[in-house]
Structure 1
Amino acid sequence: MIVLDAGHEAPRITWLLRDLRMEILGRMRSDRVLRRSTPPRVY
């Protein structure tokens, strides 16, 4: 198991170590945005 702090890129490290058998746990920053805002609906 690898544990990462918020300053590291967990998805990138996961991709780099994808062939190894392990679990990666990464803490995200509190201001991290996971998706964009939804566009306004057009009726």
Structure 2
Amino acid sequence: IAWVLEDPDRHQQLCHSARLKVEAKFTLEVQAREYQKLYEEVWQAAK
């Protein structure tokens, strides 16, 4: 944590990168696709 807090530029870059990753991974479309995949796997296993 200190490594990040000691360098404001590093802190800003990590914050920006983390935000982009979350925005890309947790969109409604991505989450719907992941749930659909999970439900299909459960359904196939129950057959």
TM score, norm. by length of structure 1: 0.25
* Structure with the higher helix share, 1 or 2: 2
**Structure whose alpha-carbon radius of gyration is higher:** 2
